[in-house]
Amino acid sequence: MVKNILFVCRHNVFRSQIAQEFFKRLNKNKNYKAESAGLISYKKEDYKNNKNYKIEKSEAKKLGLRFNKKSKSLNSSLLKKTDILVVVANDIPISMFDNEVAFRGKIVLWKIPDIRKKDKNPRKVIRNSVLLIEKKVKEFVGGLK
């Protein structure tokens, strides 16, 4: 039986999509498949001219990762079929899933920071986030049975 993993961040523009891409690259176990979603959906025009988004794409491209797909919103049907929910964010309280009737799976929390406007070197923060996500995904995939 296939287990469904859902990587979640705030907007499904960067962190959760990067985690999904690393998972697809690293996971060889056909009993697991992954998707990604965000609490708040963004339209492409909302972020395509964002300076940090361009840096995020550039850093991901250096690692051979692509995340051009549209932002997808978290919803009950996604949660219902999720066995493992991986929160790839430091800005989402996992307590919000406590009373969610559609979700009865396991929750994993990775406190990956989002870019803040006050960050003096967003490229460094983004690069560190990508490397941290890669490390977390490697550990996660290594622990799958």
pLDDT in tens, 74-88: 998 999 999 999 999
**Superfamily of segment(s) 3-142:** Response regulator (3.40.50.2300)
DSSP secondary-structure letter at 96? G
pLDDT tens, residue by residue, 95-129: 888 888 888 899 999 999 877 656 678 788 888 88
Partner residues linked to 4 by β-bridges: 33
Identity (one letter) of the amino acid at 94?
I
Q: What is the pTM of this model?
A: 0.89
